[in-house]
Amino acid sequence: MNLEEFAKQILLSDRLEDKLFVPESFEDERKGLWLRAQVGSICAPEQPGRPQELVLGSKKKRGSAFPREKDLHLDSERGKVLHFFANHELMALELMALALLKLVDSEPGFRLDIARTMLDEQRHLRLYMQRMHQLGVDFGSVPVGDYFWRNFRSLQTPMDYVCGLSLTLEQANLDFAHHYLSLFQNVDDPQSRGVMEQVYEDEIQHVGQGVKWFNRWRNPKLSQWEAYNRGLHLPMTPSRGKGLGFNREGRLRAGFEADFIDEMEILTDHRGRPRRVWLYNPMCEIEVGRGQEDRTLPKLRREAVADLANLPMFLSNQADILYTNRPPAKSFLRAWKQRGLFLPEIVTARDGKLDGKELESRIVGGLRPWGWTPAMLALQKRISPIQTELEEGWPDLSWNYPQFRGLYGKHQILKLRRLLRERFKRFPFGPELVDGGLVSSMREINLWRERISCELQLNTVLKDPFGTAGMGQLRLEPDRALSSSEQGWVCKVLANHGQMMVEPWVKDVDDYSALLMVPRGGSSKAVISTTRFFTDLRGQYTGTLLGKMTAGMEPERRRDLEYETHGLSIRKLIPLAGKEAARWLAEQGYFGPAGLDMYTYRLPGHGAKRFLKPAGEINYRYTMGHVAHRLEQFLAKGAWGMWMPVGSRLLVQRGATDFTAFGADLEQRFPAHLSSEMGLVSGVLFTNEPEEARQMLGVMAAGAEAVNDLIRGTGISL
Ligand SMILES: [Fe+2]
Ligand SMILES: [Fe+2]
């Protein structure tokens, strides 16, 4: 029989007998004109021909429940499972027929492979129909889905065929067939099991054939996994190549590389939603300040950034993409997956540059950088030219550098402080002088110093409006003359930015943060959470408390936090201030993640009384607090803890030679004790790999013992 005739009959006939017709032999005389003649170009019919009761995806029929495993002792339920598989076989058959009709110019051997596979699928279909019938379920009595038909019928190339059909639909069948094979065994149905066994063995061959052609045609510079990802067209995604259970053995036998199988195994289902790309660019503020990417970062800093590059995997709560130049080990990822983390797919930037090369052939729903910069906006345009998620927030693509710069300046906080004082008039924020101001000359600096020293008996601090936490600031004691290098620094900052910030140096007592996600339109849910965090003497971030804000807190501190004036305590005010800040950010056109840091302070002459500084700092990006907040979901119910990115200084202080030794010691003394829901009750977990860490190791500790050990020598007092 002519292959085209055979294919046409299977695709178009609405009689099962025609679809199951087995020719004695094939000849492949390719005219390829039929589909062209039918619609003017090569394109598939809307629907394959089907008997009335098997018409695909009719809406009112959709959504019939798939049998539950505990009901499989019932004939009818096993019959329904087989019905599902029978439809899969029929659809595979029709899609293969379609491929033969569309891919008229492909290699003869490939076409013959398809034809031979079709004979197998016919046999599978017959086997399923027979067994279903014995179990009292007729083909057509259960509604059938059309996912693969809808998404595959536009195939254009042999590569589309192998990726979409052999390596996706049939790969998933390796899981399904294997899974039900043992389930049918459990309910003592050897006949159904026998059917599954035959199908399973054949499907391994089918997938193997796909892998063979795929390997022949794919770009040899890419791994199997990368080439597969590029070969699929949305909404088809690798997760569609997984069924129930994960069958490694079948995949190995089909000829997949071990790496490919690992990737498949840790993949989380994302149901075809375009994925977002996450990346860690913590130098965003400095870049915006300088107006260019910082390529002169000192080695230590660069290593610290690389150590924490996987942090966004804790922020993405769906199966997204983490774009990094340091991919975490599979074993590390698997362990977090077991604890319930929705793993992103890891895409590695080969030459260390996160310029989007590796993402070009994918359709992604947008970029989620740690912080937005002009470079990130350009990357977003490159990888996702059509912005699909404006409603969710994030900068418009029309943003430009002056807008960024205007926003990122640290002096913006002065406006917010004023706003909060106005909004919460009766709240004890302390003297207004504490809020500080802007200066543009040495003379103004001196005037401020004088006032601060006379009225508050405090030191003065000068701040570069584009410095980062703890850097780019100068503390001045009263009457101390500036050294020549300090004068040089002041002149440089003033020359660069025209102005700098001046504030009294108040002793901060406690640091809190309102974590924000500023949405487009309305700020009702802008405050995600409020956390307590810790800084060192230089004002640099040290760690965040996990669990209730007052967990482990000294009673006196707690009293101060809860003490109410005019019905408002510090604790109540922080989220309210966060809400105000979110509204203010939205007014300026900023949407997306942000953090409002606030701290309490003491004043000379006021004893132990704590005031709240109205807005300490605002960060237009994700913050360590956002990460810590997401880590809380891995704590057991009622447990508390601390998340701390441990730096090499503490390492040395503890006498450890490297992070591997440091981590091993912690793990040995405080082994992770997990609840039945996989939440951390006590002990430690790591948020990056100790073996790979060079400057920073993220440690999550739970329970008083582990926490107290972790903060030893850091100056943190709970
Ligand atoms: Fe099959
Ligand atoms: Fe198959």
pTM for the structure as a whole: 0.69
Per-residue pLDDT, averaged over 354-359, amounts to 86
Q: Which of 14-28, 145-159, 204-218 has the highest mean pLDDT?
A: 204-218
Task: Work out the number of other CB atoms within 10 angstroms of the CB of residue 362.
Answer: 19
Question: Do both 690 and 603 map to the same domain?
Answer: no
**How many A from CA of 192 to the centre of ligand 1?**
15
Judged by its nearest atom, the ligand closest to the C-alpha of residue 195 is 1
**How many A from CA of 212 to the centre of ligand 1?**
18
What is residue 631's predicted lDDT score, i.e. its pLDDT? 95
Tell me the C-alpha distance between 383 and 363, whole Å.
7
Question: Do both 13 and 83 map to the same domain?
Answer: yes
Judged by its nearest atom, the ligand closest to the C-alpha of residue 204 is 2
The full DSSP string for 435-489 is G-EEE-SHHHHHHHHHHIIIII--EEEEE-TT--TTSSEEEE-TTPPPPHHHHHH
**How many A from CA of 120 to the centre of ligand 2?**
7
Specify if 717 maps to a domain.
no
**How many A from CA of 44 to the centre of ligand 1?**
22
What is residue 534's predicted lDDT score, i.e. its pLDDT? 93
What is residue 388's predicted lDDT score, i.e. its pLDDT? 47
Tell me the C-alpha distance between 329 and 346, whole Å.
10
Tell me the C-alpha distance between 232 and 247, whole Å.
21
Q: Of the candidates 610, 629, 648, which is a domain's last residue?
A: 629
**How many A from CA of 128 to the centre of ligand 1?**
10
Q: Of the candidates 407, 428, 444, which is a domain's last residue?
A: 407
Judged by its nearest atom, the ligand closest to the C-alpha of residue 203 is 2
Question: Do both 590 and 701 map to the same domain?
Answer: no
Specify if 270 maps to a domain.
no
The domain in which residue 309 lies consists of 275-407
Question: Do both 530 and 646 map to the same domain?
Answer: no
Judged by its nearest atom, the ligand closest to the C-alpha of residue 167 is 2
**pLDDT of 59 above 60:** no
Question: Do both 281 and 157 map to the same domain?
Answer: no
Q: Total structural domains in the chain?
A: 4
Find residue 697's DSSP bridge partners.
Answer: 646
Find residue 677's DSSP bridge partners.
Answer: none
Per-residue pLDDT, averaged over 217-224, amounts to 88
Judged by its nearest atom, the ligand closest to the C-alpha of residue 169 is 2
Task: Give the rounded percent of residues in the chain with a pLDDT score beyond 90.
Answer: 47
* Stated length of the chain: 718
Judged by its nearest atom, the ligand closest to the C-alpha of residue 125 is 1
What is residue 39's predicted lDDT score, i.e. its pLDDT? 44
What is residue 63's predicted lDDT score, i.e. its pLDDT? 46
Tell me the C-alpha distance between 131 and 140, whole Å.
14
Per-residue pLDDT, averaged over 183-200, amounts to 93
Nearest to 184 by CA among 175, 176, 195, 192: 192
Give the pLDDT band of residue 466 (cuts 50, 70, 90).
confident
Does 273 or 510 have the greater pLDDT score?
Answer: 510
Question: Do both 521 and 379 map to the same domain?
Answer: no
**How many A from CA of 89 to the centre of ligand 2?**
7
Specify if 191 maps to a domain.
yes
**How many A from CA of 46 to the centre of ligand 2?**
23
Judged by its nearest atom, the ligand closest to the C-alpha of residue 86 is 1
Per-residue pLDDT, averaged over 370-379, amounts to 87
Question: pLDDT by residue (tens digit) across 662-702?
Answer: 999 999 999 999 988 888 999 999 999 999 999 999 999 99
What is residue 58's predicted lDDT score, i.e. its pLDDT? 59
Tell me the C-alpha distance between 360 and 671, whole Å.
42
Q: What share of the chain is helix, strand, coil (3-state, %, to 5)?
A: 45, 15, 40
**How many A from CA of 201 to the centre of ligand 1?**
10
**How many A from CA of 12 to the centre of ligand 1?**
20
**How many A from CA of 75 to the centre of ligand 1?**
22
Strand order in the sheet with 364-369: 345-348, 321-324, 275-279, 364-369
When the pLDDT of each residue in the chain is averaged and rounded to a whole number, the result is: 86
**pLDDT of 270 above 60:** no
Decide if 128 contacts 85 (C-beta within 8 A).
yes
Specify if 216 maps to a domain.
yes
**pLDDT of 173 above 90:** yes
Tell me the C-alpha distance between 327 and 358, whole Å.
14
Phi-psi region of 366 (alpha: psi -120 to 50; beta: other; left: phi over 0): left
**pLDDT of 257 above 60:** yes
**How many A from CA of 90 to the centre of ligand 2?**
10
Stretch among 54-68, 503-517, 554-568 having the lowest mean pLDDT: 54-68
Q: Of the candidates 359, 377, 407, which is a domain's last residue?
A: 407
The full DSSP string for 129-191 is HHHHHHTT--TTSS----HHHHHHTT--SHHHHIIIIIIIIHHHHHHHHHHHHHHHHHTT-HH
**How many A from CA of 267 to the centre of ligand 2?**
23
**How many A from CA of 247 to the centre of ligand 1?**
17
**How many A from CA of 144 to the centre of ligand 1?**
16
Q: Which of 101-105, 164-168, 471-475 has the highest mean pLDDT?
A: 164-168
What is residue 497's predicted lDDT score, i.e. its pLDDT? 85
Question: Do both 554 and 452 map to the same domain?
Answer: yes
Specify if 718 maps to a domain.
no
Q: Is the peptide bond before 235 cis (omega within 30 degrees of 0)?
A: yes
Nearest to 516 by CA among 587, 598, 575, 589: 575
Tell me the C-alpha distance between 717 and 257, whole Å.
51
**Token digits of residue 152:** 């595959």
Amino acid occupying residue 700: M
Tell me the C-alpha distance between 610 and 434, whole Å.
13
What CATH number corresponds to the domain at position 167? Answer: 1.20.1260.10
Judged by its nearest atom, the ligand closest to the C-alpha of residue 89 is 1
Residue where the block lists tokens 């500790």: 701
**How many A from CA of 94 to the centre of ligand 2?**
12
What is residue 575's predicted lDDT score, i.e. its pLDDT? 93
Judged by its nearest atom, the ligand closest to the C-alpha of residue 196 is 1
**How many A from CA of 117 to the centre of ligand 2?**
7
Does 106 or 643 have the greater pLDDT score?
Answer: 643
Judged by its nearest atom, the ligand closest to the C-alpha of residue 122 is 1
Question: Do both 435 and 536 map to the same domain?
Answer: yes
Specify if 79 maps to a domain.
yes
**How many A from CA of 130 to the centre of ligand 1?**
15
Nearest to 109 by CA among 180, 232, 209: 209
Specify if 168 maps to a domain.
yes
Decide if 616 contacts 672 (C-beta within 8 A).
no
**How many A from CA of 199 to the centre of ligand 1?**
6
Stretch among 29-33, 45-49, 437-441, 611-615 having the lowest mean pLDDT: 29-33
Question: pLDDT by residue (tens digit) across 275-317?
Answer: 789 999 998 887 887 776 666 778 888 899 999 999 999 998 6
**How many A from CA of 177 to the centre of ligand 1?**
10
The full DSSP string for 27-67 is B------HHHHHHSSS---SS----GGG-TT-GGG--PPPP
Question: Do both 624 and 641 map to the same domain?
Answer: no
Question: Do both 423 and 461 map to the same domain?
Answer: yes
Tell me the C-alpha distance between 612 and 597, whole Å.
11
Task: Give the rounded percent of residues in the chain with a pLDDT score beyond 70.
Answer: 91
Give the pLDDT band of residue 577 (cuts 50, 70, 90).
very high
What CATH number corresponds to the domain at position 516? Answer: 3.30.470
Residue where the block lists tokens 């849910």: 525
Judged by its nearest atom, the ligand closest to the C-alpha of residue 113 is 2
**How many A from CA of 431 to the centre of ligand 1?**
78
Tell me the C-alpha distance between 453 and 479, whole Å.
9
Cβ within 8 Å of residue 224, ≥6 positions away:
214, 215, 218, 256, 257, 259, 260
**How many A from CA of 121 to the centre of ligand 2?**
6
**How many A from CA of 685 to the centre of ligand 1?**
44
Question: Do both 74 and 190 map to the same domain?
Answer: yes
What is residue 620's predicted lDDT score, i.e. its pLDDT? 87
Specify if 267 maps to a domain.
no
Judged by its nearest atom, the ligand closest to the C-alpha of residue 90 is 1
Question: Do both 379 and 519 map to the same domain?
Answer: no
